[in-house]
């Protein structure tokens, strides 16, 4: 059983939450990255973790985002690609649009002083065969988008229900990505049958860890939510997640979000979000408990290191005919299921 796990934070900014919730104040691109940066550095530092931050290109091109990128990189953390505009419908983008999303973010990250990203996570867990192919071609080592849970498909179904797309397009797109059988994708890391210069054995996929068997996400937001109901419930949840991961030999890939480290005072406009009334210092104690519980059993490192620990010759999803630029029908079929 591999002991190499990982922890990553998706640096979703204040504006992207407001945008998702249809609040027009997002257009001024309000940001809390200057509040987030020291807390994230502290959290990783307290636990001796060299972790990952997935940054949005539009932020990395601005001053406070550049500070986040350069200080994280200087502290030895990985800076990875979380798209340029953080639009959770990337799976509807054509190749040219996807290329621009990747390219502009890579450029912003490099300009801010970090190495060119080799890892990607789609906003809102959105992913497509074209995107996987592009990642492989561009020298990415891994994708970390998938969340094998029943909660993702429900959230996406809701998005489609409330979207303005014409009915027939909607049908087509629901068929492509709205299926609840996404829950059947593997929980453990595996490889996609798409290859590129840095992924000769197949592009690695590092799913966000969901509770093995029950497939409930164990990411920090849920633990904090449980804590707000009853602190003992949060501890039981952490203990159950650790036990399930140990039993099934799953090294966790823990996902954090900015709101796990911030409180209502840091994020004006998001007071209504679950858990925002918990003071940031109290949240930090809950996260400390979670990280201590995990680091007892696993080394939590960068998602890049976690993907690299994936043995060559393990599970490969898709057919073995895909090369750079080609399309594997099996990968398409899998994503469509």
Please give the DSSP secondary-structure letter assigned to residue 211: -
Reported in sequence order, the residue ranges of 44-196 that DSSP labels E, i.e. its strands, are 52-55, 78-81, 119-120, 142-143, 190-192
**Cβ 296 to Zn ion, closest distance in Å?**
29
- CA gap 337, 332 in Å, rounded: 9
Give the residue with the Cβ less far from Zn ion, 66 or 81: 81
- CA gap 274, 73 in Å, rounded: 31
Q: Which stretch binds Zn ion (CB under 5 A): 7-15, 37-45, 177-185, 298-306?
A: 7-15
Give the residue with the Cβ less far from Zn ion, 10 or 141: 10
**Cβ 117 to Zn ion, closest distance in Å?**
15
Give the residue with the Cβ less far from Zn ion, 10 or 101: 10
Q: Applying CB under 5 A, does 12 fall inside the site for Zn ion?
A: yes
One residue of 4, 5, 9, 10 binding Zn ion per CB under 5 A: 10
- Letters for 94-133 (x = contact with Zn ion by CB under 5 A, - = none) are -----------------------------x----------
Q: Which helix (H) or strand (E) holds 132?
A: helix 129-137
Reported in sequence order, the residue ranges of the chain that DSSP labels E, i.e. its strands, are 4-10, 52-55, 78-81, 119-120, 142-143, 190-192, 203-205, 253-256, 299-301, 316-317
Q: Which stretch binds Zn ion (CB under 5 A): 8-16, 31-39, 180-188, 320-328?
A: 8-16
- Tell me the CA distances in angstroms from 68 to 60, 85, 189, 257, one per residue in order: 8, 17, 28, 15
Q: How many whole angstroms from its chain centre is CA 87? A: 13
**Cβ 124 to Zn ion, closest distance in Å?**
7
**Cβ 106 to Zn ion, closest distance in Å?**
17
Integer Rg of the chain from CA: 19
Q: Applying CB under 5 A, does 87 fall inside the site for Zn ion?
A: no
Give the residue with the Cβ less far from Zn ion, 255 or 317: 255
Give the residue with the Cβ less far from Zn ion, 53 or 245: 53
**Cβ 138 to Zn ion, closest distance in Å?**
20
Q: Which stretch binds Zn ion (CB under 5 A): 12-20, 104-112, 226-234, 276-284?
A: 12-20
Do the bridges between strand 4-10 and strand 78-81 make them parallel or antiparallel, or are there none, so unpaired? unpaired
Give the residue with the Cβ less far from Zn ion, 92 or 233: 92
Q: Applying CB under 5 A, does 153 fall inside the site for Zn ion?
A: no
- Letters for 269-308 (x = contact with Zn ion by CB under 5 A, - = none) are ----------------------------------------
Instruction: Check the CA dihedral 131-132-136-137 and report its sign.
Output: negative
**Contact in structure between 275 and 225 (CB atoms under 8 Å):** yes
Q: Residue 164 burial (CB < 10 Å; 0-12/13-18/19+)? A: exposed
Give the residue with the Cβ less far from Zn ion, 109 or 322: 109
**How many residues of this chain bind Zn ion (CB under 5 A)?**
3
* Closest by CA position to 319, among listed 309, 329, 310: 329
**Cβ 144 to Zn ion, closest distance in Å?**
11
**Cβ 56 to Zn ion, closest distance in Å?**
7
* Closest by CA position to 62, among listed 88, 45, 89, 37: 37
Give the residue with the Cβ less far from Zn ion, 83 or 299: 83
Give the residue with the Cβ less far from Zn ion, 13 or 250: 13
Q: How many whole angstroms from its chain centre is CA 276? A: 21
**Residues in the site for Zn ion, rule: CB under 5 A?**
10, 12, 123
């Amino acid at each position: 059983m591999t002991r190499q796990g990982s922890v990553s934070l998706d640096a979703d900014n204040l504006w992207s939450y407001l945008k998702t919730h249809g609040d027009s104040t997002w257009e001024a691109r309000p940001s809390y990255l200057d509040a987030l940066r020291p807390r994230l550095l502290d959290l990783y530092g307290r636990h001796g973790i060299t972790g990952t931050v997935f940054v949005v290109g539009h932020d990395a091109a601005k001053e406070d985002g550049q500070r986040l990128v350069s200080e994280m990189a200087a502290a030895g953390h990985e800076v990875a690609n979380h798209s340029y505009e953080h639009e959770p419908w990337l799976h509807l983008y054509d190749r040219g649009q996807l290329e621009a999303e990747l390219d502009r973010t890579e450029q912003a990250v490099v300009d801010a002083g970090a190495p060119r990203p080799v890892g990607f996570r789609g906003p809102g867990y959105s992913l497509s065969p074209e995107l996987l192919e592009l990642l492989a071609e561009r020298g990415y080592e891994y994708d970390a988008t998938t969340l094998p849970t029943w909660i993702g498909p429900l959230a996406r179904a809701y998005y489609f229900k409330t979207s303005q797309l014409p009915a027939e397009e909607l049908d087509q797109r629901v068929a492509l990505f709205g299926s609840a059988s996404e829950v059947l994708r593997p929980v453990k890391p595996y490889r996609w049958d798409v290859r590129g210069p840095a992924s000769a054995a197949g592009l690695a996929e590092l799913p966000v860890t969901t509770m093995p068997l029950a497939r409930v996400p164990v990411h920090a937001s849920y633990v904090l939510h449980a804590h707000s109901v009853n602190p003992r419930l949060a501890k039981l949840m952490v203990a159950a997640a650790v036990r399930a991961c140990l039993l099934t030999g799953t090294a966790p890939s823990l996902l954090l979000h900015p709101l796990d480290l911030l409180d209502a005072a840091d994020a004006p406009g998001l007071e209504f979000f679950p858990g925002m009334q918990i003071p940031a210092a109290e949240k930090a104690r809950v996260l400390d408990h979670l990280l201590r519980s995990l680091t007892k059993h696993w080394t939590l490192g960068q998602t890049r290191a976690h993907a690299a620990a994936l043995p060559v010759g393990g599970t490969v999803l898709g057919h073995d005919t895909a090369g750079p630029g080609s399309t594997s029908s099996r990968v398409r079929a899998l994503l469509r299921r």
